[in-house]
Amino acid sequence: MARLSLHDLAWAPSPGQSLLEGIELVVGEGEFVGLIGPNGSGKTSLLRCAYRFHRPQQGRVELEGANLWRQSPRWSAQRIAVVLQEFPQDFGLSVAEVVAMGRMPHKGLLDGDSEEDQRLVDEALARVGLVERRIQPFENLSGGEKQRVLLARALVQQPQVLILDEPTNHLDPRYQLDLLRQLRSLGLGVLASFHDLNLAAAFCDRLHVLDGGRLVASGTPAEVLTEALLLQVFGTEALVDLHPVAGHPRITWITR
């Protein structure tokens, strides 16, 4: 299994600007790491640096101890899978065909789908509960179903690290919980951004708080999700107590 690490990372959208600065972050083997922060804090940009979309102006991204930007895109794609908020153009593809695209980093240019490829596609669709939709057009699915298809595509990629940008954004509560339970059960290193802090508290081993392009807190959910920090970063008062069943921090936003 792989360890993903970001060291003294800085990135800006254009010269003379600064968005991310001094980022130090590690995702260990089998660890579920959450990234939280207000809108515009740089969460998506940080994830893009982590999966080799934005080249950092400073610092480095390492996977398995290797500098990601000194490897080929194919090398990276064989090890890191990504699930984004946006849905890709499907070009009329079926659900199974979209999922099968996850096998591309492991195949030659002219290779067709093998029996092993088909087995992996069927297993991934079963894992996300969409076997019965395999021949349906991807474009006809609901937003939540599309999100589950994209997770299945990431799984057939057989990655060592999974990066997700707001993975529960399009899902109802049942599928939010199902998805996050599945992610926890995979044994992969996972780095995911969250809008819902209660979901982050329930499922993440560690949290990093991003504000103004800098990491302002890192630690377990209990260490990070304090009333003082939430007021500082999100500008809103909150009550933080323990979930009565699960025992993880529970956030209740105060409106007055």
- Residues 106-161: tens digit of each pLDDT: 887 667 778 898 999 999 999 888 999 999 999 999 888 888 899 999 999 999 99
Strand, coil or helix: 220: coil
Q: What is the pTM of this model?
A: 0.92
Q: Are 56 and 27 contained in the same domain?
A: yes
* The domain boundary residue, chosen from 158, 187, 209: 158
On whether residue 241 sits in a domain, the answer given is: no
Token digits of residue 141: 């699915």
Instruction: Tell me the backbone φ, ψ of residue 62, rounded to 5 degrees.
Output: -120, 140
Q: Are 99 and 224 contained in the same domain?
A: no
* The domain boundary residue, chosen from 130, 158, 186: 158
What is d(CA 153, CA 130) in angstroms, rounded to the nearest whole number?
12
Q: Are 183 and 128 contained in the same domain?
A: no
Q: Among 143-157, 163-177, 196-210, 242-256, name the most confident range.
A: 196-210
* The domain boundary residue, chosen from 135, 158, 181: 158
On whether residue 171 sits in a domain, the answer given is: yes
- Range name among 13-17, 36-40, 137-141 with the lowest pLDDT average: 13-17
Count of positions (residues) in the chain: 256
Neighbours of 183 (CB within 10 A): 18
Q: How many structural domains comprise the chain?
A: 2
On whether residue 131 sits in a domain, the answer given is: yes
Q: Are 182 and 92 contained in the same domain?
A: no
- Residues 156-175: tens digit of each pLDDT: 999 999 999 998 887 889 88
- Structural domain that includes position 198: 1-79+159-228
Q: Which amino acid is at 158?
A: Q
What is d(CA 117, CA 104) in angstroms, rounded to the nearest whole number?
10
Q: Are 183 and 211 contained in the same domain?
A: yes
Instruction: Give the pLDDT score at 113.
Output: 77
On whether residue 244 sits in a domain, the answer given is: no
Residue with tokens 């980022």: 23
Cβ pair 190, 161 in contact under 8 A: yes
- Burial pattern 208-238, b for ≥16 Cβ within 10 A else e, equals bbbbebbbebeeebeebbeeebbeebbeeeb
- Residue 195's domain is classified under what CATH number? 3.40.50.300
